[in-house]
Structure 1
Amino acid sequence: MFFVNSWLIFFAVISIIPMAWLLLASSKTDPELSSRNPLAFGSFKGYINAWNNLTFFDNGVIGRWVINSVLYNAAIVVIATITASLAGFVISASRIRFKKTFLISTLIMMLLPPVALVIPLFVLMDKVSLIDNPLSVILISSLYPFGAFLSYIYYSTTIPPELYESARLDGCSDWQLYTRIAFPLSGALLGLLAFFAFIGNWANYFMPYVMLYSGENYTLPLGLGFLFSSTPAINPGVGATSVPIYKPEIALAGALIAFPIMVMFLISQKRLIRGMLAGSIKE
């Protein structure tokens, strides 16, 4: 047991070090990063200077990127959670035809890499004039086949079919079964779906890169990629510029992406475990 605990502690420390470095590096000046201990703390003034330098870039557009990421992800989490829950219920409990076909289609969508769908999705968004529109990213990212399959497993194993049959005898439609029985009993599932939807989209770079090209519509990961490519600290080929972005600013920008994910995990870990165990045992 001591051996197992030692390994768990070791891997926990290894996992924490990168995030600790990001937070501590932002507190130092650029020369201090090269001369001091990597995990040494600089000063709180260092954080202020790094943030001021980040906001200096393009008249503070990074604030716009942060707001975009929050708004896009909020919409994605709400839409993806509700639609995935509803899709899983339909596949597991409704009386529609071709339920197995829908289930197999969901599994196939889970296996397809996102890059395989880029061209058809881009053509589709172009046909409906949504290129460089936040709706394109929100709608595409709300496609949640894993969430639909997870909901199917949950509703198939957690809620007894007899409950649905009793409600049908009382005259409930499938929609009423979902809204009055399945949805109110799926709190653990909804928390799990929202967690994975947020984690999967907060740091998403690829799809916004394909669909958006105006700087004011960028998400935080996409905007920071553009910022880094415009600064000598990352791309020496740009030459000397007036943009004061150096290693501390880069570390702070990385922390802006990583920190919300860590906070989300910390505040939802109990619901996460409860949701993962909810459908594991069928009575």
Structure 2
Amino acid sequence: MTTPRTTGNRWTGRATATTLVAIAALYTLMPLIWLLFGVTKTLPELYASNGFSPSAGFHVLGNIADLFRQDDGIFARWILNTAVYALGGAAAATLLSVAAGYAFDKFDFRGKGKWYALVIAGVLVPNTAIVVPLYLLMSNFQLTDTMWSVLIPVMVNPFGVYLARAYSSGAIPGELLEAARLDGAGELRTFFQVGLRLMAPGALTIFLIQFIGIWNNFFLPLVMITDNDLFTLGQGLFTWNSAVGQNPDYTRMVVVGSAVATLPLLALFIPLQRRWRAGMAEGSLK
């Protein structure tokens, strides 16, 4: 039987949880809100006005036009470079992760446990800790200052392998694979026509995680790339921000460029967030 005190405690708990979530959401969104207001302002307004108030003139279109004209339109090149790194790296990492997770789950081979332990150990190593060794490796193969120096490292995702194995164990019945083999399908055909299709929600989750990680990656390209034409958005905006002393208008370009750089992530994440959450939830349960 529910007593008034129990009901009151329940509502108090819900109110406290809601308040904490609201505070966390506000704290998370404040930089984005500031950025959206900053896009509407001129350079003097960025310094003189309240950061959380829009400009009276609303200079969004003019600011964006100036952004893509700045330095002979190099910003468009940086967007293209970042898209190549993110799309190519995420697609390759997803396919390799799903294939590796499927193999760890469905096949028995010598040293399987040790190899999988090595993959899990890779999850625990921060990406920044291996950037310098990767640079030395790429330098030995004369790949620094090329797109490959960024693409090759991001094609490996230990967490993606872990997630793919967890998803494969529940999403792909062994009986279905046996039936495909009895019908004469080879292992590769079985994987691509049966396993990969059933693992699609998990693969989408891995792709989104890797895409966002590569899109926001700053340290790896900073170490690998010195050619301005191969810069990512993060590198390019960092370069502009470092040159504010020579050209104060770079401050406005950095603000507007940072806002534009978030649009592809929002365009990708918002329509697919339900499938992402579903893939994460199913992977955690399986």
Give the TM-score normalised by the residue count of structure 1.
Answer: 0.88
Q: Secondary structure at the match of 2:262?
A: helix
Residue aligning to 1:244: 249
Report the Cα distance in structure 2 between the residues aligned to 1:19 and 1:120, rounded to whole angstroms: 35
Displacement of 1:76 after TM fit? 0.9
Report the Cα distance in structure 1 between the residues aligned to 2:20 and 2:267, rounded to whole angstroms: 24
Displacement of 1:63 after TM fit? 1.4
Displacement of 1:9 after TM fit? 2.5
User: Aligned AA for 1:250?
Assistant: V
Asked if residue 23 in structure 1 is aligned to residue 27 in structure 2, the reply is: no
CA RMSD of aligned residues (A): 2.1
Q: Is the 8 A contact 2:90 2:154 kept in 1?
A: no
The worse-fitting range, judged by mean Cα deviation, of 42-51 and 124-133 is: 42-51
Q: Is the 8 A contact 2:171 2:199 kept in 1?
A: no
Q: Is the 8 A contact 2:78 2:232 kept in 1?
A: yes
Q: Which runs of 4+ in 1 moved over 4 A?
A: none
Q: Secondary structure at the match of 1:279?
A: helix
Quick check: which one's helix share is greater? 2
Asked if residue 159 in structure 1 is aligned to residue 164 in structure 2, the reply is: no
Asked if residue 254 in structure 1 is aligned to residue 261 in structure 2, the reply is: no
Displacement of 1:56 after TM fit? 4.5
Percent identity, aligned pairs only, is: 28
Residue aligning to 1:237: none
Q: Is the 8 A contact 1:56 1:243 kept in 2?
A: no
Asked if residue 100 in structure 1 is aligned to residue 104 in structure 2, the reply is: no
Displacement of 1:52 after TM fit? 4.1
User: Aligned AA for 2:250?
Assistant: I
Q: Secondary structure at the match of 2:197?
A: coil
Q: Structure 1, residues 7-51: CA drift from partner, whole Å, max 9, x if none?
A: 323322232221011011121123323443322221565223433
Q: Secondary structure at the match of 2:142?
A: coil
Flag structure 2 segments of 5+ consecutive residues without an equivalent.
Answer: 1-13
| Aligned length in residues | 273
Residue aligning to 1:197: 210
Q: Is the 8 A contact 1:26 1:249 kept in 2?
A: no
Asked if residue 4 in structure 1 is aligned to residue 17 in structure 2, the reply is: yes
Q: Secondary structure at the match of 1:96?
A: coil
Asked if residue 188 in structure 1 is aligned to residue 201 in structure 2, the reply is: yes
Flag structure 1 segments of 5+ consecutive residues without an equivalent.
Answer: 233-240
Residue aligning to 1:267: 271
Report the Cα distance in structure 2 between the residues aligned to 1:8 and 1:85, rounded to whole angstroms: 34
Q: Is the 8 A contact 1:159 1:182 kept in 2?
A: yes
Report the Cα distance in structure 2 between the residues aligned to 1:24 and 1:127, rounded to whole angstroms: 46
Q: How does 1:70-219 map to 2 (within 5 A)?
A: 70-219=83-232
Residue aligning to 1:235: none
The worse-fitting range, judged by mean Cα deviation, of 80-89 and 90-99 is: 90-99
Q: Aligned match of 1:277 in 278, 281, 286? A: 281
Asked if residue 222 in structure 1 is aligned to residue 235 in structure 2, the reply is: yes
Q: Structure 1, residues 99-130: CA drift from partner, whole Å, max 9, x if none?
A: 22221111111112223323332232223221
Asked if residue 39 in structure 1 is aligned to residue 44 in structure 2, the reply is: no
Q: Is the 8 A contact 2:167 2:282 kept in 1?
A: yes
Displacement of 1:59 after TM fit? 1.6
Give the TM-score normalised by the residue count of structure 2.
Answer: 0.87
